[in-house]
């Protein structure tokens, strides 16, 4: 199985919240038909400094804000070219200083379809093109209007992604993707709020977002090691004003760099371990977070006959 790069969306999202997207929706790996890869994941992210608009600062009344995510993730091979992915995260937030209470709960269910229309051999290399569509839905009535300690933003999202993968000599690869994320309006518990003007409504217009992701490194059946650059840009939204609290429709931008590893057990190839770490290097209205994550996955063959995991992903 090819299973790695979980929790990518988590890196860039807002000041203290996580929004874990489906686990392998950023990579160029597909499960074979009828194979179902599933497993638990854990991620920890924290920040002390954040960007209030473009100004970087700390907040002694929050100290370090941490987010832990416990997730169940899965990927099912509908066919060799089409996979369905899901992610169910439980999120726990905490501030190390001040009086504000950390939050916890089931966050957003995300579902995604990943399709590979083109998979072309060119000399020693192979070029593959992927299209992905998906979305997320809040699973509980959690509090969104309590940033940076909210566990999520409560927005329903729909997203589309185009991804290109170049794989050389069955060892080296580079993957690039661009994503557009539609975010539905959210509803607050209060009936007025101030953005860059007063709004007399409990509805918040959420700006959409774009994202790009570039990853490159070494990839074989047994081991993946890669470096990642990720950017999340909110198309609109407003800046946090001085000493204000963050708000769900802030203009949240972040650029993160990181590394990821995946290791497949030779003795038991159905079992794989993944791990990664990343750091936000530039941002706006987000925490400068460090993130580390790990997961264990197991591949089940849901077809009648014995089936091998498609490890070549080609």
Q: Which stretch binds other proteins (CB under 8 A): 24-32, 117-125, 191-199, 223-231?
A: 191-199
Q: Which stretch binds other proteins (CB under 8 A): 13-21, 135-143, 216-224, 269-277?
A: 135-143
The one among 190, 266, 304, 305 contacting other proteins by CB under 8 A: 190
Q: Is 134 one of the binding residues for other proteins (CB under 8 A)? A: yes
Sign of torsion, CA 237 238 239 245? Answer: negative
Q: Which stretch binds other proteins (CB under 8 A): 116-124, 195-203, 212-220, 278-286?
A: 195-203
If we measure between CA atoms, which residue out of 14, 55, 49 comes closest to residue 206? 14
The total of other beta-carbon atoms located within 10 Å of residue 170's CB is 14
Cβ nearer to other proteins, comparing 156 with 275: 156
CB 18 within 8 A of CB 289: no
Q: Is 38 one of the binding residues for other proteins (CB under 8 A)? A: no
The one among 223, 244, 265, 303 contacting other proteins by CB under 8 A: 244
- Between CA 157 and CA 132 the distance in angstroms is 14
- Between CA 219 and CA 117 the distance in angstroms is 21
- Between CA 290 and CA 236 the distance in angstroms is 25
Q: Is 242 one of the binding residues for other proteins (CB under 8 A)? A: yes
β-sheet bridge partners, residue 214: 176, 229
Q: Is 189 one of the binding residues for other proteins (CB under 8 A)? A: yes
CB 85 within 8 A of CB 75: yes
CB-based contacts of 14: which residues, under 8 Å, 6+ apart? 147, 148, 153, 246, 248, 250, 252, 285, 286, 287
Q: Which stretch binds other proteins (CB under 8 A): 37-45, 108-116, 254-262, 286-294?
A: 108-116
Q: Is 100 one of the binding residues for other proteins (CB under 8 A)? A: yes
Q: How far is the CB of 122 from other proteins (least distance, A)?
A: 31
Site map 258..277 versus other proteins, x via CB under 8 A = --------------------
CB 42 within 8 A of CB 69: yes
- Between CA 234 and CA 253 the distance in angstroms is 6
Q: Is 106 one of the binding residues for other proteins (CB under 8 A)? A: no
Site map 157..176 versus other proteins, x via CB under 8 A = xx------------------
The one among 245, 259, 271, 282 contacting other proteins by CB under 8 A: 245
Q: How far is the CB of 135 from other proteins (least distance, A)?
A: 4
If we measure between CA atoms, which residue out of 206, 211, 213 comes closest to residue 236? 206
CB-based contacts of 307: which residues, under 8 Å, 6+ apart? 32, 33, 34, 35, 301
Q: How far is the CB of 87 from other proteins (least distance, A)?
A: 13
Task: Give the binding-site size for other proteins (rule: CB under 8 A).
Answer: 50
CB 274 within 8 A of CB 248: no
Q: Contact positions toward other proteins, by CB under 8 A?
A: 60-61, 76, 78, 82, 84, 97-102, 111-113, 133-135, 137, 141, 143, 145-146, 156-158, 182, 184-185, 188-194, 197-201, 203-206, 241-245
């Amino acid at each position: 199985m090819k299973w790695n790069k979980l929790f990518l969306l988590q890196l860039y999202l807002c000041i203290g919240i996580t929004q874990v997207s489906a686990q392998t929706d950023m990579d160029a790996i597909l499960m074979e038909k009828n194979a179902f890869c599933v497993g638990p994941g854990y991620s920890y992210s924290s920040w002390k400094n954040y960007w209030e608009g473009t100004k970087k600062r700390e907040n002694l009344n929050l100290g370090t804000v941490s987010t832990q995510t416990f997730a169940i993730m899965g990927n099912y091979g509908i066919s060799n070219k089409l996979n369905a992915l899901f992610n169910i995260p439980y999120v726990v937030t905490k501030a190390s200083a001040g009086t504000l209470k950390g939050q916890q709960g089931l966050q957003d269910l995300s579902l995604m379809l990943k399709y590979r229309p083109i998979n072309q051999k060119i000399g020693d290399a192979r070029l593959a093109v992927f299209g992905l569509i998906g979305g997320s839905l809040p699973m509980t009535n959690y509090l969104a209007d309590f940033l940076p300690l909210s566990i999520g933003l409560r927005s329903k999202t729909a997203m589309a992604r185009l991804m290109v993968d170049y794989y050389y000599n069955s060892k080296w690869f580079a993957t690039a993707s661009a994503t557009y994320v539609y975010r539905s309006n959210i509803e607050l518990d209060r009936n007025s709020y101030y953005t860059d003007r007063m709004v007399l409504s409990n509805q918040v217009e959420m700006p959409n977002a774009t994202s790009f992701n570039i990853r490159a490194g070494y990839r074989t059946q047994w081991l993946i090691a890669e470096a990642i650059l990720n950017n999340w840009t909110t198309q609109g939204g407003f800046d946090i004003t001085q000493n204000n609290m963050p708000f769900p429709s802030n203009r949240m931008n972040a650029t993160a760099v990181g590394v990821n590893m995946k290791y497949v057990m030779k003795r038991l190839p159905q079992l794989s371990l993944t791990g990664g770490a990343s750091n936000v290097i530039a941002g706006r209205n987000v925490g400068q977070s460090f993130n580390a994550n790990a997961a264990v996955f197991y591949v089940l063959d849901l077809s009648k006959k014995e089936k091998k995991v498609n490890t070549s992903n080609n």
